[in-house]
Amino acid sequence: MAITPELQHTVGKTAGFSGTSLHTGEKVSLKLHPAPVDHGIKFKRKDLQDEPTIDAKIDNLKTVERATTLGEGAVRVHTVEHVLSALSAMDVDNAIIEMDANEPPIGDGSAQPYVDLIKKAGVTAQEQPRKFFDVREPMHVESKTGALLVLLPDDTFRISCTQAGPNNRFAQFLSTEITPAIFEREIASARTFVYYEDLQPLMEKNLIKGGSLENAIVVRGEAVLSKEPLRFADEFVRHKILDIIGDLALVGRRIRGHVVAVKPGHAVNAELARALAREQARRSAMSTPRPVPIGDGGLDTDEVMKILPHRYPFLMVDRVIGFEGENKIVAVKSITINEPFFQGHFPGHPVMPGVMQVEAMAQVASLLLFKLAKTTSRIGYFMSADSVKFRKPVLPGDTMFIHAELTKSRGERLAKAKCHCVVNDAVVSEGELMFTFLDK
Ligand SMILES: [Zn+2]
What is the rounded distance in angstroms from the CA atom of residue 430 to the CA atom of residue 166?
51
Measure Cα distances from 78 to 31, 70, 75, 348, 422 in Å: 16, 6, 10, 37, 45
Average pLDDT, integer, range 305-333:
86
pLDDT of residue 295: 60
Decide if pLDDT at 209 tops 90. no
In this prediction, residue 195 has a pLDDT band, given cuts at 50, 70 and 90, of: confident
In this prediction, residue 433 has a pLDDT band, given cuts at 50, 70 and 90, of: very high
Of 111, 66, 72, the closest CA to residue 88 belongs to 111
Decide if pLDDT at 1 tops 50. no
Going from the Cα of 109 to the center of ligand 1, the distance in angstroms, rounded, reads 7
Q: Between residues 173 and 221, which one has the greater pLDDT?
A: 173
Going from the Cα of 278 to the center of ligand 1, the distance in angstroms, rounded, reads 25
Going from the Cα of 240 to the center of ligand 1, the distance in angstroms, rounded, reads 7
Catalytic residues: 266, 345
Average pLDDT in the chain: 89
pLDDT of residue 292: 56
pTM tops 0.95, yes or no: no
Going from the Cα of 82 to the center of ligand 1, the distance in angstroms, rounded, reads 6
In this prediction, residue 45 has a pLDDT band, given cuts at 50, 70 and 90, of: very high
- Apex 400 CA angle, 395 and 404, nearest 5: 140
The burial of 337, by beta-carbon neighbours within 10 Å (0-12 exposed, 13-18 middle, 19 or more buried), is given as exposed
Going from the Cα of 377 to the center of ligand 1, the distance in angstroms, rounded, reads 71
Going from the Cα of 237 to the center of ligand 1, the distance in angstroms, rounded, reads 11
Measure Cα distances from 87 to 80, 118, 297, 387 in Å: 11, 7, 54, 49
Of 421, 429, 415, the closest CA to residue 383 belongs to 415
pLDDT tens, position by position, 78-112: 999 999 999 999 999 999 999 999 999 999 999 99
Lowest mean pLDDT among 91-105, 108-122, 319-333: 319-333
Going from the Cα of 247 to the center of ligand 1, the distance in angstroms, rounded, reads 10
DSSP per position, 377-429:
SEEEEEEEEEEEEE-S---TT-EEEEEEEEEEEETTTEEEEEEEEEETTEEEE
Decide if pLDDT at 43 tops 80. yes
Decide if pLDDT at 379 tops 80. no
Decide if pLDDT at 286 tops 70. no
Going from the Cα of 192 to the center of ligand 1, the distance in angstroms, rounded, reads 5
Going from the Cα of 90 to the center of ligand 1, the distance in angstroms, rounded, reads 17
Sorted by sequence, the CB contacts under 8 Å of residue 215 that are 6+ apart come out as 20, 22, 106, 107, 108, 109, 191, 192
